[in-house]
Chain A
Amino acid sequence: MNIIELVAQWFADPAQWSGPAGIPVRLAEHLAYTGLTLLIAGAIAVPIGMYVGHTGKGRIAVVGAASALRALPTLGLLTLFVLLMGLGLMPPIWALVILTIPPLLAGAYSGIAAVDPTLVDAARGLGMTEWQVLAKVELPNALPVLLGGLRAAVLQVIATVAVVAYINLGGLGRYLIDGLAISDPVRMFGGAILIALLALVVDGILAVVQKFAVSPGLADRRRRKRRETPTVGAVQGGM
């Protein structure tokens, strides 16, 4: 039997689909880690990105910090946090948060900063307060780029969350780590397929969300802009 057939058999085994080590539980764990990471990273990166985009203050610091963070090696960071904070849920989550901040920060910052300054000027001239300018004008117009950053971040987190299995946590990464430990390529292959599928499905859902969240009035402009300049392509880094 070749590997494909073996993997198919692995998926077909009912034992894979039940119990505390079954695929549904691992999937739920994986999503929970991903969600927690995005929540914390978003709470840090999006307000900072919006502030910098709106005021233009600290632009250089933010761009520099985002590039620096992106250069950190995942596994090294994970090990460092575990050594400093001990085992448990939060040390690996913090390591993941640090890796997730750059794409979210870049999306929020560049989205807000790219809003036409004459539009912002008009909004102020109509009598909007700074908060209203941000909430009613800059944010809706930055949404395409901002959600682009979010999608890049989500893909990256789903792929990277696998490493938390390295330090005894769950998630789909267990199949990779355990498979490696007992030299079971079928289990590793199955785990990899699950992670890839999860990433594709979640990205598809976000694409639909983006379509409905962004005003149709921006559709033409966005298409034009995408042809002219790559906006978020630059923030999509790998592990």
Chain B
Amino acid sequence: MEQPHRTAAPVQGAEPMVSFRNVTKSYAAGHPAVDNLSLDLDRGAITVFVGPSGCGKTTSLRMINRMVEPSSGTVLVDGKDIAGQAPAALRRSMGYVLQSAGLLPHRTVLDNIGTVPRLNGVSRRQARTRARELLDVVGLPASLATRYPSQLSGGQQQRVGVARALAADPPILLMDEPFSAVDPVVRAELQQELLRLQQELAKTIVFVTHDIDEATLIGDKVAVFATGGRLAQFAPPEELLRAPVDDFVAGFVGRDRGFRSLSFRPADALPLHSAATATLGSLADAPAAGWLLVIDDGGAPVGWLPPGERSTAGLLVGGSLFRLGSTLRLALDAALSSPSGRGVAVDDAGRVAGLVDAEDVLKRLETGRAG
């Protein structure tokens, strides 16, 4: 279930973890892949690089661990110019997750996860102990430890990829389209998992994607790249949706950005209407007029009965639920998807707390604008 968007928790006032200073990357022919990029990435926050293909987002990511060398400009990590650092050691100091997972096919899951600690000189036994802990951290069963990558599903491979990136406990994670090769259901799972992990770990994460929905969901801040390697806008996701700086960004974030921007607005002051409810056992005693919300003995919603219909055969199920304390987007969605036109609000225990009205959501937006 969608939570109200986390507010960024970067260490305020601290030096940025990664800084691009006038970085340009040109290949022999044609336009630059990255054009004069200047960008500061906050510590402990997720920064997403998003844009269409060929916009330089992956190139920019790969300049952070020197997989790509800038043609001009400097990249600073933790305040230090990386141009003078040994590439292999620099890369081992950062976690790296790739689109294809990039697991070593000849090594077991456990030894894949332990790759970087082993490169750092940790004993095999210690590396495996650490790898076992990480299996749990990324939500994989211990029984997968001795499997080989070819025996895993795409989603499991990506989790192993994340575990491997975390193994040496680096302060920075570089994630290059890590979830784009898995199906939408697994992707949504992995996204939520990443957000959960990040709340515990507070790494500085750089995340590349071409999917604007993923960007606004995952990112504390989003850098939108335009074709030609130009940074078009760098802002928190809600600002990106509310105030795109130009036509390119507006076009890229999409037509329904107004609706999606509701995700960033808490629904705390939304009025709740009382609901006519009845349990399945007491339908006969319920008033015949108006919509009736059927609940179970614990108070959780079961479905709606239209006016005049008072038998379980006419029960209409469906409609999303609005959990109190979540966002206006969910409140509006609950109302729009409800058979009765009013959304069901539930409390943390899943019991019916009242009904929400689409009109109230709109009114709430009006007052927000006035204030």
Contacts and interface: CB of A to CB of B under 8 A. Distances in A.
Interface of chain A, helix or strand or loop or mixed?
helix
B88 interface: yes
Contact of B65 (A118, A125, A128): A125
Contacts of A215: 105-107, 148
B11 interface: no
A145 to B, nearest CB: 13
B105 A218 contact: yes
Contacts of B107: 215, 217
B276 interface: no
Interface in B78-109: 88-93, 96, 98, 100, 102-108
Contact of A124 (B91, B148, B150): B91
Contacts, number: 69
A220 B150 CA distance: 7
B249 to A, nearest CB: 30
A140 B106 CA distance: 7
21 contacts: A118-B98, A118-B102, A122-B98, A122-B100, A124-B67, A124-B91, A125-B91, A126-B96, A126-B116, A126-B119, A127-B93, A128-B88, A140-B106, A141-B106, A214-B106, A215-B105, A215-B106, A215-B148, A217-B105, A217-B107, A220-B151
B59 interface: no
A129 to B, nearest CB: 5
Contacts of A129: 88
Interface string B144-156: 0000111100000
Contacts of A220: 150-151
Interface in A137-173: 137, 140-141
A115 B50 CA distance: 30
Contact of A119 (B91, B102, B116): B102
A89 to B, nearest CB: 40
A129 B148 CA distance: 24
Contacts of B148: 215-217
Contacts of A119: 102, 104-105
Interface residues of A, number: 23
Contacts of A136: 104
B150 A125 contact: no
Nearest to B120: A127
A55 interface: no
B229 to A, nearest CB: 21
Contact of B108 (A122, A124, A141, A217): A217
Contacts of A77: none
A123 interface: yes
B115 interface: yes
A132 interface: yes
Interface in A207-228: 214-218, 220-221
B88 A137 contact: no
A218 B108 CA distance: 11
B116 A127 contact: yes
Given A122-B102, A127-B88, 15 more contacts: A119-B104, A122-B96, A123-B102, A124-B91, A125-B96, A126-B116, A127-B116, A128-B88, A132-B88, A215-B105, A215-B107, A216-B148, A217-B105, A218-B106, A220-B150
Interface string B119-142: 100000000000000000000000
Contacts of A217: 105-108, 148-150
A198 to B, nearest CB: 32
A219 to B, nearest CB: 8
Contacts of A127: 88-93, 116, 119
Contacts of A184: none
Interface centre among B108, B148, B151 (most CB of A within 10 A): B148
A117 B73 CA distance: 28
Nearest to A115: B105
**Pairs of residues from A and B, 5 with the lowest C-beta to C-beta distance, nearest first:** A122-B102, A217-B148, A127-B92, A215-B106, A127-B91
A215 B106 CA distance: 5
B91 A126 contact: yes
B19 to A, nearest CB: 21
A193 to B, nearest CB: 40
